[in-house]
Amino acid sequence: MKIDTLIVGQGLAGSLLAWQLLDRGQRVLVVDRDEQITSSKVAAGLVTPIAGSRFNVPPELGERLLFAKQFYWEKEEATSAQFFHHKRIARVFRNGKEAAAWDKRLKNDGDDLKPYHEPLRIDETAFHAPHSGFEMKEGGWLDVPAFLEATRQHLLERASYAIASLDSADVIVGKEAGPDGSVRWKNIVADRIIFAEGWKGNQNRFFDWLPMKPAAGDILHLEIPELEEETRIVNCGGWLLPLGNGLFRAGSTYRHEFDTEGPTAEGRREVLEKLGNITPHEGRIIKHEAAVRPIIRRSQIFMGRHPSHEEVILFNGLGSKGVLNGPWHASRLVEHLLDGRPLPESSDLRENLL
């Protein structure tokens, strides 16, 4: 079987790439282990334009935010599915220091911030907000599992998806792959292979040198009837995501040292502590999930060609901002591979990790 691109992994990264390549008329095969629990399937999928305690607004935010929303809306139309939800975010200050940092940011960068905020209105009997906050516009969340399933069905309809565990030791590259392509795996011949394997991205022979620093994260599913009327995402150190009918997801933790990929009692306690800083209502725990995030140096997205094998490519490190930044970066990688366009310097694998 001859194809243009073989993609390893159908998490968020692999799915974004598959769409972009298919849109360019590429023949694609996505190989995935079809695991029940992955970081993409557990991820909150939050789109938070103004993030962090310093409230920085990156100069490229507007472009990437617009690109992401248009991308997801187009894929919803293509699949007749719904997975992107536009939601405002009630950003509650944790302390006076954050409130002061926000005031300073408004004075210095008020024009840049203007499209993304309004004054906070919040019921202080339902939420803790002694230091006030602001209401963030242009936010939302992606139902990542729904997006992945819609993508999988789209790929299956085009004979572009296979359930399998691909061992990099079985991948032949270069002249040894034969005259029909640069990559061979079993009976598949391709011009290139892209590894989008998440936190296990450095566990293959091509990228075992990646400085991967994964972090396990816990998320709770809760029933909180007292907050049934709240439709915004509420963020105050942790986050509370309304699903409707009094159901919520809450999170999350960052455990860089972990013995298990699954939920832990410590992670559960930490999420409940974060929840306690948001609301006095405890709620009822329905489910506890955990997975491991792919994090490469300073939570950056890294992509590009292997230093020795032009036909071997990496796309990894999407992390907590992957839903927002991932579509734009996937488009840049595809343009690099098909059109020769330079990669963004901050994300270029060869420029930053060699």
- Same domain, yes or no, for 279 and 314? no
Based on its alpha-carbon atoms, the radius of gyration of the chain, rounded to whole angstroms, reads: 21
Domain contains 58: no
In a domain, 319, yes or no: yes
My answer on whether 133 and 239 are in the same domain is yes
CATH number of the domain enclosing 329: 3.50.50.60
Look at residue 78 and tell me if it is in a domain.
no
Mean pLDDT of all residues in 111-121 = 95
| % of the chain residues with pLDDT over 90 | 81
Average pLDDT over residues 221-245: 97
Q: Give the Cα separation of 236 and 92 in Å (integer).
A: 5
Pairing relationship of beta strands 28-32 and 161-163 according to DSSP bridges: parallel
Same domain, 228 and 116: yes
Residue 45's φ and ψ, nearest 5 degrees, are 70, 25
- Same domain? For 174 and 270 the reply is no
- In a domain, residue 190? The reply is yes
Q: Would you give the DSSP letter of residue 197?
A: -
Supply the pLDDT for residue 354.
64
Burial of residue 97 (CB within 10 Å: 0-12, 13-18, 19+) is exposed
- Provide mean pLDDT across the span 259-286: 94
Q: Cα separation of 33 and 31, whole Å?
A: 7
pLDDT of residue 257: 86
Task: Yes or no: say if 302 and 314 are a contact pair by the CB < 8 Å rule.
Answer: yes
Kindly compute the dihedral angle of the four CA atoms of residues 241, 243, 246, 251, in this order, to the nearest 10 degrees.
-30
Query: Once rounded to an integer, what is the mean pLDDT over residues 47-54?
Result: 90
Where does the pLDDT of residue 247 fall: very low under 50, low under 70, confident under 90, or very high at 90 and above?
Answer: very high
- 254-275 average pLDDT score: 92
Asked if residue 75 belongs to a domain, the reply is no
The token pair that represents 280 in the structure block = 């006095």
Tell me whether residue 338 is in a domain.
yes
Q: Which of 25, 77, 16 is CA-nearest to residue 328?
A: 16
Q: Report, as an integer, the average pLDDT of 300-322.
A: 92
Number of domains making up the chain: 2
**Bigger pLDDT: 300 or 155?**
155
Q: What pLDDT is recorded for position 16?
A: 98
Same domain, residue pair 96 and 218: yes
Are residues 151 and 119 both part of a single domain? no
- List the CATH number of the domain containing 251: 3.30.9.10
Question: Domain boundary at 243, 260, 293, which?
Answer: 293
What pLDDT shows up at residue 140? 96
Q: Which domain holds residue 125?
A: 86-138+213-293
For the record, the structure tokens of 26 come out as 């590429």
Tell me which amino acid residue 275 is: L
> Residue 121 falls within a domain, yes or no?
yes
Give how far Cα 229 sits from Cα of 141, 148, 233, 242, Å: 18, 29, 12, 9
Q: Which two tokens stand for residue 225?
A: 């009837």
Q: Is residue 172 part of a domain?
A: yes
Q: Per residue in 146-190, pLDDT tens?
A: 999 999 999 999 999 999 999 999 999 998 888 888 999 999 999
**Whether the Cβ atoms of residue 183 and residue 173 lie closer than 8 Å to each other:** yes
**What's the average model confidence in pLDDT over 191-202?**
94
What is the predicted pLDDT for the residue at 234? 98
